[in-house]
Amino acid sequence: MTDTTYKLHILDGTLEYVLKELLEKYPQAVILSTEKEEIEFEINIDGNIEIFRNLYSPLHIEDCNGRILKLSKREWRKGFVPAGINPSLAYILCMIAELKEEDIVLDPFCGSSVIPITALKYFNVKRVICSDISEKAISASKENFKVAGIEESKYKLFRSDIKSIKLSKRNIDKIVTNLPYGIRVGDHSGNIEIYKSLELLAKKLLRKRGLIVLLTQEKKLIREVFRKEEWNIKSLARVNEGGLLPEVFVIKKR
C-alpha cells in the first residue's frame, strides 16, 4: 500500500452499494481491487483518514499505516435492542429505497430506530413513523432520537403490535424495515402472523407508487405472503451479517 491507498472493509453482499457511495462522494477515487469484504482504492487528498467520516455504508476504513476509522459507529446510538441492525446495513437499506426529501417512511419493527434515524439524518426525509411491540425498544428509540438531536415534529414513535397498529392514512411512501426472523428474535410460527400483518398494513398505508425494502431471513415466507399476483418482489442482495444470511427484498405493488 502506498500512502494514498486505503482499504474499506464491508459487509459481504454490499459491494455494489459501498462502491456507489464511495464514488458519489469521492469521484476522484481509483478502485484498485475489490473482494467480497474489501475494497482497495487510491486517492490524493489533503488531510487524514478522518475526512472519510462521511461514508456510512462501509464497516471501517484503514490507511497505509494500519490506522483504522470505524465507519459503522453512530454517535447517537446509545440505546440498543437484541438483533439490532448494523448501522452500515441500515444505511444501505435506505440507499436501496432511494429515499427522497419528500418521503414519509414507516418502520413498524423499529427496535432502537436505527433505520428511521438513518433515514432522517442522512437522507433528510420528511418524516418517519416508527413502532415496535417492545417497551424496551421504544425507550431505546426515545433515547436515540434525543441524542441524535431530531426535532419531535419529524417523527411519530409508539408501542404497538404490528397486528393492531392504529394507522389508517394512505400516506406512506416507503416502508424500510428489518423484520423479526426467528433466530435471535421470535420463531417461525409467530412470524407467519407477523408477516401477514405487514402485508395487510402495506396494502392499506402505502401510496400507489410506494416501495417496501426489507431485510429478512424468512425468504420463503416473504414470497408466500407477498403474492406475485399482487406484488412485484425482488431479492436484491444476500448479506452476511455475523454468520446469518438475510436477504434484502424490494417489493412494489403491481
Ligand X SMILES: C[S@@+](CC[C@H](N)C(=O)[O-])C[C@H]1O[C@@H](n2cnc3c(N)ncnc32)[C@H](O)[C@@H]1O
- Interface residues toward ligand X, by CB under 6 A: 81, 83-85, 109, 111-112, 114-115, 132-134, 137, 161-162, 178, 180, 185-186, 194
Shortest Å distance, C-beta 57 to ligand X: 16
Residue whose C-beta lies closest to ligand X: 111
For residue 228, the minimal CB distance to ligand X (Å) is 25
Q: How far is the CB of 241 from ligand X (least distance, A)?
A: 10
| Residues 6+ away with beta carbon under 8 Å from 72 | 58, 59, 60, 86, 87, 88
Rank residues 43 and 83 by Cβ distance to ligand X and give the closer one: 83
In contact, 111 and 137? CB cutoff 8 Å: yes
Judged by beta carbon, residue 103 or residue 241, the one nearer ligand X is: 241
- Closest to 179 (Cα-Cα) out of 231, 221, 120, 123: 221
> CA 33, CA 30: separation in Å to the nearest integer?
9
Q: Which of 104/162 has CB closer to ligand X? A: 162
Measured CA distances, 26 to 90, 171, 174, 213 (Å): 21, 35, 28, 26
3-class secondary structure, 110: coil
Q: Where are the beta strands (DSSP E) in the chain?
A: 5-9, 30-35, 38-42, 60-62, 68-70, 104-107, 127-132, 155-159, 172-178, 206-216, 231-238, 247-253
Which of 188, 147, 145, 177 has its CA nearest to residue 250? 177
When the beta carbons of 1 and 159 are compared against ligand X, the nearer one is 159
> Closest approach of Cβ 86 to ligand X, in Å?
8
Q: How far is the CB of 157 from ligand X (least distance, A)?
A: 13
By C-beta, is 161 or 247 nearer to ligand X? 161
Residue closer to ligand X (CB basis): 39 or 202: 202
Nearer to ligand X, 21 or 132 (CB): 132
Whether the CA torsion 114, 182, 138, 211 is positive or negative: it is positive
Minimum distance between the CB of residue 115 and ligand X, rounded to whole angstroms?
5
Q: For the CB of residue 245, give the shortest distance to ligand X in the complex, in Å.
A: 15
Is 39 exposed, middle or buried (CB count within 10 Å of its CB: 0-12, 13-18, 19+)? buried
